[in-house]
Structures are given as structure tokens and as C-alpha cells.
A and B are shown apart, each in its own frame.
Chain A
Amino acid sequence: MEDSKLEFLRGTLDVLILKALAWGPQHGYGIASLIRRHSDEALLLEEGTLYPALWRLESKKLVAAEWGLSENNRKAKFYRLTPDGRRHLRDGAKTWEAYARAVSKVLSTAKPQEETA
């Protein structure tokens, strides 16, 4: 389990959080569970790091927060996407996909081509 823990690239966590909120308002714990579940348990983030990222998004007005009751009847802080956040998610996802494609293209190259003089 420790081995498969992937290092999070800078900014990736933001996109993942935004994506997790795309389906509806969610509290911090729910966001962490969602990310874990959807990555087939491959992306195990240290849960503590989620919150600073979340608050920063809140302060940038990409997500908005509101206190409410959780499914187990506890007082929980729910986050939801703002229109700005939705836009940011779209852009972030596009960038990330392009980046991932480029990286995997390089990695899958069999042999570097010789440059002709």
C-alpha cells in the first residue's frame, strides 16, 4: 500500500477536489472518500493535506462553504462549486489531460529518433 501511494503533482489536488464536488455539495471527509474510491484506492492522499487545499479554494471563491447536517446527523461543513470553480475545473482537467498525454507519449516511445544534421 505504501508503495502505490502516488505523489500528488502541484495543482492536481485542486482539480481532484473540484471534480469531487462536481456531483453536488460534499463535506471534507466525503471528498476524501470520493477521491479514494474513484481512483480505485490508488490515490491515497494523506487526508490532512486535503483541508488546506480546500480552504485555499474557498478563499479563492472557487468553492463556497455552508454548515449543514451530514448523513450521520453530525454538524459538517459542506462545500459546493461556484461558477468560477466549475470553469476552473474544466480548464484544469483539460490541462491535466494534455499533460498526462504528453508524459505518457514520451514514456511509450521505443527509441529516440536520431536528429539528422
Chain B
Amino acid sequence: MNKIPIWRRYDRLLGSDRAADVKAELRFHIDSKTDDLIARGWPPQQARAEAERQFGNIRPVQRIGEHIGGHMDLRSRISDYWSECMHDTRYTVRTLLANPTFSIVAILVLALGIGANIVVFSVVNTILLRPLPFPDSQQLVRIVEKDAKSNESGKTYTADATQDFQQQNRSFQSVSGYFAFSSPNNFKLAGSGQPQPATGMLVAEGFFETLGVEPFAGRLFRHEEFLQHAQTAALLSYPYWKRQFGGDPNIVGRTVDLTDKGDLNNKSVTVVGVLPQTFDFGAVFSPGTKVDLFVPYIMDDFRSDGNDLALFGRLRPGVSIGKAQNEADLLFPQFYFEHKHPEYGKGYTAQLTGLKEYISGKLRRSLIVLWCAVGLIQLIVCVNLSNLLLARAAARGKEFAMRSALGARRGRIVRQLLTESLLLAVLGASLGLGLAWAVLAWLAHQGSLALPLLHMIGLDGAALAWTLVFAVGTAVLFGLVPALRTSSPNLQEALKDGGHGASEGRRHDRLRSTLVITEISLACVLLVGAGLMLRSFLRVLDVDLGFEPSRAAAVSVDYDDGGNPARQAAIWEEVVSRASQIPGVEAAGISDNLPMSRNRGWGIAAKGQAPPKNEDYLPVFVYIVSPGYFKAMGMRLIAGRDVTWDDLVNNRSVVVINETVARRLWPGQNPIGRIAYAGGGQPEVIGVIADVRESSAEDSGAAQMYLPATKQFGPEGSYLVVRSKLPPSSLATSVMRTLRDINPGQPASQFSPVQSLVDHATSPRRFFVLLVGIFACLGLLLAALGIYGVIAYSVTRQTQEIGIRMALGATPARVQFDVIWKTLRLALAGIAAGFIASFAVARLIASLLFQTAPNDPLTFAAMVAVLALVSLLAGYLPARKASKVNPMDTLRAH
């Protein structure tokens, strides 16, 4: 920094006038020249003319001078401004260092507020604002049956319908899809050591091309690879390639011993390519799941398998979703389920939704609520800092009065104070950015969290810009009030006022009280919101799932039955009976589907006089189960009996239905012994079981049926579920040993508690509750800090007054009571305002609540009590201090 030279101050005094300067300088030149010429003997008149002649044309020189001068003025003004800024900054650093407690508290509070804001902004930006990580992603559209709800089969289409749509539509550049019913660990990779499980996804032709995904290495699938009996090709996901193959650069073209557990031919696959790191199937299509490899979905293999393709497409440029929807509404009702069997019927529907909207639409409201919550936090932070600064400013009132008495303009003092808040904000923002970075890095690796696109979360340009805007905005917001207040031109008053109950002090107090009341009411809104969310979450956890996840664990079982149902039954019986004999196991059973993971839907109808028509079928979730499964899952049999091994051996056609099916098909009657149409046969209803929450804890029970495997249909995969008194992990070794005994090729699958399925399903809600809860605690803490600050400050200021009162006979208890009463008045005013605001806010978040009324009295009462209690605590500490005042000391001190 350059020192301002003496003459710059001098020229300020007269007011800078470049034109006059230039004129004076040039006149001096001419005058001196004239003098010289006269000295050499020229007559005065001619001397002046000669001097001017020698100088040349004076006008343009003058103009240049003024021009250059203007530039220099501007520059010097900027540099003066800058040097003043540096001066302010250095001064600020000094004052902040002089008061480290204040500085640390202020910076920490800011860092928490700004950090929380960056995190939530990044989450919102990734999930809601940023386009999907595909080129021209706005053209991508998800195609789902209308009114499909949570039944995956209802959201999907048959191979034939898919091909019809691919051929007949005019709106899409391409339409593709994936097999919606892949189960985790459906592949096993043999090689060195134990076979390793892997999750494969079957994708239809053009899947990657439609998305616009380019391979990281190798190539995508070719048309031939989608033909029947083609050598199976596979694309590896980037993480799987890194993890399983150590990032082997020569993987492309290699044949690996990866076998599809459901595939009887047991052939190995050729790796044709590796997908880029940025492509995460789970993040886009199925949050919280990981997919290791992709294999072609060969239409001809699936023609008679019913609805199993989840469809999406890329619109042609210039075609709107509305136009495509109109076309789909015309086309889909025409499509047959299966060309070979037109008698199965026809008539699909299709709801077109932008892929982005489809992925994040459900989360929009939660995220916006979250965003508002951190916004509230930031408001509280600002109010709190305003208060802190105001307290400081009040203490420094004399300093500022002195400065303005010495000639500092009001703007200059405001600038000084703003520099202070800006510096605090910048420091807080830097720390907050660090915090946010750490939290985001952690979040990005929460693969089990069922939130879409989570892996892409991170600090980016937008987040940084947001931080900057936020920090500056915050600084101005919380700095301006104290700055304007302190610099108000009331010199005499301030200089006179020793800070003991003079009017200026009272005015400060009123403003600070208002700020604290605001803070408390904002915290109240946050607390009530968080309380309602928490109560909803507890209600969700408390829901009767229809099964007891706590002491059950499941493992994917691998076996080779050669496609023979009898052998499959024998293997199942052996697995279940041997698993049941393991010490500690109470019950064991097998099912091909577990609740809250993938699902599959068929139809069921009651047998009446006439064969049922299409619309008579009730959509129903299907489970192929072994005897013992109900017991192992802890499901409750309401009536009738479980499936028995006898049913399987004798290939008896039986079905267990849940209460919903019983109610819908045989209302008011006993369903046991009735005959139903289901699974291509006419099974007899042998039992009724309590409804199980199928897709999440929050959806009420849907129609479900449980069938033993028969000749017509086999299981799709199989999960052994065991129930035990012991923690699942202690059983893992013995169960795995048993399974490997039966089948040496059993891969080292994970033996996972059934609870983890429930946890996964409730993870988004837990995530939001956790965040909102943290924010509410933060808000409470800040509000408490605010109350404490105001009360402690006023006690300090009134020490003398308190001393006098005590000298006049006030008891310490009386003094303490007065301070607490003051606190309570502030708290109650804040709570009253917050209470009213909470009612309005609660109504806004009503749709996010689960079995909790937005005006849930318990929540409101509890939160008000918490807030009042914390306020009291915050006021108690200064109150105690006030009651310890020694009257003699204070009187002597003044």
C-alpha cells in the first residue's frame, strides 16, 4: 500500500480540479519562458509572443492534460478507497483479536449456518435443479402405466408391447428399457477362490444409446447380441471394474466366468466394454441399489413372461411431452400383451413423465422444506450476529461518537462496521465451506441411502457462487442494522452516556429484545416442524409391517435344479430342513421375493359361474414360497394353514392370500377352501395371512398372494430367511457353511438382516428427519445463545442499578426473579409469535407427515416446553450473576 502523498491531501482541501492544474502548469511554463527571453533582451511584448510560438498549439496539450488527469484521479480514488479498505480490515482484525470469544462464537455460528446452507443447496441442486447427467436430458421421458402405484409389474410392459411402440411411435428418437425384476446378486463370478456374487441388469437394445452414455472403454452392445442364442456380452460398471478386476486395462474382450443364476445354460460372458464413472444406474433408476454389470435383454427370451420391461425414451427434437402423450394415448390401448396369444387381451395405458421429474418429483416437497429450514437457520444466525454486533457496538458507542466528532462521516463509520461483518462472514463462509465439503463427501458415499443422484453430490461452481452470494448477503443483513444504529448522529448523547440507563441504551435494548423475540419465534417454527417430522418418523417405525424384521436375516441361495420343478422342491426342502437344524435357528423358509425389495405383480380372481374377464382380476403381489417362510418372517396367519411340503411333492395347486385379497374377492365370507384364478391355474385358498407392507412402511397393505412353486411357474431366485434368538451376524458362518455343504458353488453372498430392507425403505425419511432435527437443535442453540447474550448484557449494564437496589434492601432472590421474569417475557413473546407461525408452516408440510396431524397437540406442547425450558436456562445464568452482585463494590466502582 502506498502512502497518500502530502499534496493529495492538499489538493483535496481545495477540491481536485485537474483543468485548473493543467492551466496553471502551462501558464508557469509560458511565464518562465517569457522571463528568460526578457532577460536575454527581448522586449516584453514580443517575448510573450515568442514564448507562445515556441510552445506550439496550447489547446490540444491542455485537452490531453485534462484527459490524463481524469484517469489519474479515478485511479487515485480507487487506490485511496482500497487503502481505506485495507485500513478498515486491519483495524477489524485487531478488534476481533482483542475479543476472541466474540470472534470465535460469531465465526462458528456463521460457519454452521453457511455450512448447512451449502450442504442443502448442493443436495437440492443435484436432485432438483441440475439436469440429469445425460446429453439433452430434457428429451428423456419415462413411460409408465397410468395409476400403476407401487406395483412394479404395473409399471412395466411386455416385450411385444414394447416392440409395437418402438415401431409405431413418431414422437421418439428411440425407446428402450430395462428388466425391472433383476434381484441383487443374481450373478456369480467364479474364478479364484469362492464364487463372488454380482448384480447384473438386463437392458434392452439401445439402452445406453438412448441415454447418450458413451463407453469408458471398449464398446456398447451390438444388434447381434440382442438375438437369441448369442454369445452373452457384458458391460461392466466402472466401480465393479475397479473393485473386482483391479481396473485391468485389458478386460475388454476377455471372457469371464460370470454366470446368471437363473440361466440354465451356465455360459460365460464376454466383457465388451466398461461404462464411464459418471454413469450410475442405481442413482437414476433405482436409488440405493448398485449394479455391477449389464447384459442384453433378449426380447425373444421374454416374450411369454408378462410385463417386465421398464420403459423410457428420448423424444425427437421439437416434440413436446404433451404431443408424445397424445400419441401414446392413441397407441398403447391397441397393444396386445402377447402377439402369440391375442386371447390374453390387449390395452395398455402410458403416462409420460420427464425422467428428471420422475426421479426427483417425489422428493421435491421434502427438499423444499429442507431448504426453507436451512433458510430459517440462516435467518436465526443473522439475527443472532446482529445482536452480538449490536452489543459490541453499544459498548463501543463512545469510540464511534469520538470518531465522528473528529470528522468521520457517517458513511465512513458504516463502512467500517460493514467491513467487520463482511470479514466475519468471509471467515465463517470459509469454515462453513470446509464443513460442507466434509459432509458432502460423506453423503456422496452413502450408497445405501435411497435418494437418487446422490453419488454426484459435491461442491461445484454453483455451490461456490451460492456460498459467496450467501456470505455477502448475510454480512450485509446482519451488519447493517447495528451499523446504522450505531452511527446515528446523536453525538452529544453518546458522549455523555456512560451506558447506564440513558435513552440511547434503552433504545438499543428495545431493538435487541425485538431481535431475540424474532429469533425465538423462528426457532419455535423449526422445532415444531422437526417435532412433527420426528413424530411421523416414529409412527413409521411403529407401523405394523405385517412381519417382524428384528430377528430375521436373509441370504440369497444358489442351486442348480436343471429346470426340474421336482428337483427344485427337493433342494428347497433340504435347504430349509438343514437350516432349521442349525442351533439357534427358530424357523427357516424360502421365498423368491422379500418385502420392500423388488416386487412382481400378477392378477387374482375369484372363481364364479363364468370365467373371469380381464377387469375381474385384482392386481396382486406374488411370492413363491416354501413352507416355513411365514414363520421365519414373523408373519401372522389369520386363518387356514401354511403351505406344506406335501403340497409341493404332490404338486397341489394351493394359494395363501392376504387379508386385502380376502376382503376384495370374498367380502364377508370365509375364503378358505374357495377356488381362485391365479398364476395360470385354479388354486384352492388354504390360508389368509395378515397384510404385509410391500413397497414401504408408509403404503398401506396391497393385495398379496403366496404360492408354492408348481409346474407352471418356478421361483425367480430364492432367499433363505432364518429367524433366531441370536443376532443374525452370529449365525452367518453356520448358515453359509450349510449352504456350501449343499451346493459348493454357493457364492459368498451377504447374510443380511431383514431389518436392513426396512431401513433402506425408510432411509429417505430418516435422512430428512435427521437433517431437520439437526437444524432444529441448531436453531434452539442459537436462540438460547441469543437470549443469554441479551440478558447477560443487560445485567452487566445494570450492575450499578442492581447494586443500588440491593443497597436499598432488595433481596438476591428478588433480583434473580426480576432477571428471570425479563427472560421469560422475551421467551413468551417469541413463543407466542412462533406458535402462530408454526400452525401455518405445519399446514404446508402436512403432506410430508405420516399419521400425524399438522396441529398435533403433543408435538406443539412438547416443543413449546422445550423452548421455554431452554430460554429459562439461558436466562438463569445471568440471573445468578445478578444476584451475586455486591452492592458495596458496584457503588464504590462509580
Shortest beta-carbon distance from A28 to chain B in Å:
6
Q: A66 touching B26 by the CB < 8 A rule?
A: no
Chain A residue numbers with a CB within 8 Å of B33 are 29, 47
Q: Indicate whether A47 sits within 8 Å of B56 (C-beta atoms), given known contacts A66-B7, A67-B10, A75-B24.
A: yes
The yes or no answer to A86 lying at the interface (CB within 8 A) is no
Q: B29 touching A28 by the CB < 8 A rule?
A: yes
Q: Indicate whether A72 sits within 8 Å of B32 (C-beta atoms), given known contacts A48-B61, A51-B65.
A: yes
Chain A: CB-nearest residue to B51: A47
Q: A75 touching B68 by the CB < 8 A rule?
A: no
Q: B56 touching A66 by the CB < 8 A rule?
A: no
Q: How far is the CA of A72 from the CA of B36 in the complex (A)?
A: 11
Mark A42-82 against chain B: 1 for CB-CB distance below 8 A, else 0.
Answer: 00001111011001101100001111001010111100000
How would you classify the secondary structure of chain B's contact residues: helix, strand, loop or mixed? helix
Chain A: CB-nearest residue to B6: A66
Q: Indicate whether A29 sits within 8 Å of B65 (C-beta atoms), given known contacts A66-B6, A72-B35.
A: no
Chain B residue numbers with a CB within 8 Å of A77 are 21, 24-25, 28
The yes or no answer to A27 lying at the interface (CB within 8 A) is yes
Q: How far is the CA of A72 from the CA of B11 in the complex (A)?
A: 22
For A55, A65, A72, which residue has the most chain B Cβ atoms within 10 angstroms? A55
Q: How far is the CA of A59 from the CA of B21 in the complex (A)?
A: 15
Chain B residue numbers with a CB within 8 Å of A72 are 32, 35
Interface range on chain A (Cβ under 8 Å from partner): 20 to 34
Q: How far is the CA of A46 from the CA of B10 in the complex (A)?
A: 32
Mark B10-34 against chain A: 1 for CB-CB distance below 8 A, else 0.
Answer: 1100000000010011101101110
Chain B: CB-nearest residue to A28: B29
The yes or no answer to B546 lying at the interface (CB within 8 A) is no
The yes or no answer to B58 lying at the interface (CB within 8 A) is yes
Q: How far is the CA of A56 from the CA of B69 in the complex (A)?
A: 9
Chain B residue numbers with a CB within 8 Å of A32 are 29
Q: How far is the CA of A51 from the CA of B5 in the complex (A)?
A: 22
Q: How far is the CA of A64 from the CA of B36 in the complex (A)?
A: 26
Shortest beta-carbon distance from A103 to chain B in Å:
28
Shortest beta-carbon distance from A80 to chain B in Å:
11
The yes or no answer to B650 lying at the interface (CB within 8 A) is no
Chain A residue numbers with a CB within 8 Å of B65 are 51-52, 55
The yes or no answer to B54 lying at the interface (CB within 8 A) is yes
Q: A51 touching B61 by the CB < 8 A rule?
A: yes
For B7, B21, B71, which residue has the most chain A Cβ atoms within 10 angstroms? B7
Shortest beta-carbon distance from A55 to chain B in Å:
4
Q: How far is the CA of A51 from the CA of B66 in the complex (A)?
A: 11
Chain B residue numbers with a CB within 8 Å of A55 are 64-65, 68-69
The yes or no answer to B72 lying at the interface (CB within 8 A) is yes
Shortest beta-carbon distance from B665 to chain A in Å:
94
Q: How far is the CA of A51 from the CA of B793 in the complex (A)?
A: 63
Chain A residue numbers with a CB within 8 Å of B28 are 27-29, 70, 74-77
Q: How far is the CA of A70 from the CA of B56 in the complex (A)?
A: 23
Q: Indicate whether A64 sits within 8 Å of B32 (C-beta atoms), given known contacts A51-B26, A58-B72.
A: no
Q: How far is the CA of A48 from the CA of B61 in the complex (A)?
A: 6
Q: A64 touching B31 by the CB < 8 A rule?
A: no
Partner of B55, one of A27, A47, A67: A47
Chain B residue numbers with a CB within 8 Å of A48 are 55-58, 60-61
Q: How far is the CA of A24 from the CA of B127 in the complex (A)?
A: 69
Q: A47 touching B29 by the CB < 8 A rule?
A: yes
Chain A residue numbers with a CB within 8 Å of B71 are 59
Chain B: CB-nearest residue to A27: B28
Chain B: CB-nearest residue to A53: B64
Q: Indicate whether A29 sits within 8 Å of B29 (C-beta atoms), given known contacts A49-B56, A51-B65, A55-B69.
A: yes
Q: How far is the CA of A28 from the CA of B24 in the complex (A)?
A: 12
Chain B residue numbers with a CB within 8 Å of A33 are 36
Shortest beta-carbon distance from B79 to chain A in Å:
10
Chain B: CB-nearest residue to A58: B72
Q: How far is the CA of A1 from the CA of B5 in the complex (A)?
A: 42
Which B residues from 419 to 460 make CB contacts under 8 A with A?
Answer: none
Chain A: CB-nearest residue to B54: A47
Shortest beta-carbon distance from B315 to chain A in Å:
60
Chain B: CB-nearest residue to A68: B7
Q: How far is the CA of A56 from the CA of B72 in the complex (A)?
A: 10
Shortest beta-carbon distance from B306 to chain A in Å:
83
Chain B: CB-nearest residue to A64: B5
The 27 listed contacts between A and B (C-beta, < 8 Å) are A27-B28, A28-B25, A28-B29, A29-B29, A29-B32, A29-B33, A32-B29, A47-B55, A47-B56, A48-B55, A49-B56, A49-B61, A51-B29, A51-B61, A51-B64, A52-B64, A52-B68, A58-B68, A58-B72, A59-B75, A65-B7, A66-B5, A67-B10, A72-B32, A75-B24, A75-B28, A77-B24
Closest 5 A/B residue pairs (Cβ): A48-B56, A55-B68, A29-B32, A52-B64, A46-B56
Chain A interface (Cβ < 8 Å from any Cβ of B): 27-29, 32-33, 46-49, 51-52, 55-56, 58-59, 64-67, 70, 72, 74-77
Give 16 A-B pairs besides A46-B56, A47-B54, A48-B58 with Cβ atoms closer than 8 angstroms. A27-B25, A29-B32, A46-B54, A47-B29, A47-B33, A55-B64, A58-B72, A59-B68, A66-B7, A70-B28, A72-B32, A74-B28, A74-B31, A75-B28, A77-B25, A77-B28
